Structure 1
């Protein structure tokens, strides 16, 4: 079921990411917001959290700071997403139910941010993709770029 969900969500994520214009990667709607480059890179890398959750007992941001891949255009963004998705899908398709049960901890030093099973962490990574994809939808709307439908047609889809 998780593999099926991952593949279904990937279709919608592709539709959103491919809409990003090459000249808008440094744009941000507010100084406290991420740039489109930061946001889309994070979205494109999130499928690798599936393999991370399956291969480790957790992640400590204090000892493993986030270092995003540099992307400069939509072709690079889509390539990054497809590589990340392939990695995540492969790991998930080979996982057993028993491998989803051990605990996985997300922390920053002594501060525990989340302690869940590996399976729950995988579901959380899916939710993070949806959450950030929605943020991207707002960014694109503010730039007057048509939004694709996610779970049905969008206001920009013909006839709706």
Structure 2
């Protein structure tokens, strides 16, 4: 039951992520709002990467960032970032489909070199906070990046100011 609810949200929100990533023109990839922020390409790549975390989140009780390695690929083209998203999404979808949700209350934590960096909590809380909500947060940032570079924003939960029906 829990898995089916998560799967429905996952599929709906992955489509929104796909629309948002496809809206990024190559001309906006190097833009960033300040020296402290990521470029658009780095932010978009991070959004795609979140889907790569599903395996370690769903199948393990400890996610060791000290041993985690990720090849983001060539992020100099939007199509490459979308391609990486599609690759990671397919793997994440398979992981979620095959998840035994009887482990939803198992304690999970994130560590790096033996130090706890994400405190122990039930796996279901991690899925909602670390995977889902974390992703939505970064998508919101990406919407601001698109607006700030004069680009159109696709409707994620209904029409946007770019929709002609307004």
Pairwise same-fold verdict (TM > 0.5)? yes
The 1:2/1:114 distance shift into structure 2, 3 A limit, reads same
Which of 54, 67, 71 is residue 64 of structure 1 equivalent to? 67
Shift in Å at residue 10 of structure 1? 0.8
Structure 2, unmatched stretches of 5+, are none
Q: The residue matched to 2:111 in structure 1 has which SS?
A: strand
Which of 4, 7, 13 is residue 3 of structure 1 equivalent to? 7
* 4+ residue runs over 3 A deviation: 64-68
The answer as to whether partners of 1:49 and 1:122 remain within 8 angstroms in 2 is: no
Aligned to 1:22: 26
Q: The residue matched to 2:133 in structure 1 has which SS?
A: helix
Structure 1, unmatched stretches of 5+, are none
CA deviation digits over 1:105-151, x for unaligned, max 9? 02344344332222221212111111000000000000010111121
Q: Does 1:113 align with 2:118?
A: yes
Q: Separation in 2 of the partners of 1:68 and 1:24? A: 22
- Normalised by the size of structure 2, how large is the TM-score? 0.87
Instruction: State the aligned residue count.
Output: 159
The answer as to whether partners of 2:107 and 2:121 remain within 8 angstroms in 1 is: yes
RMSD: 1.7
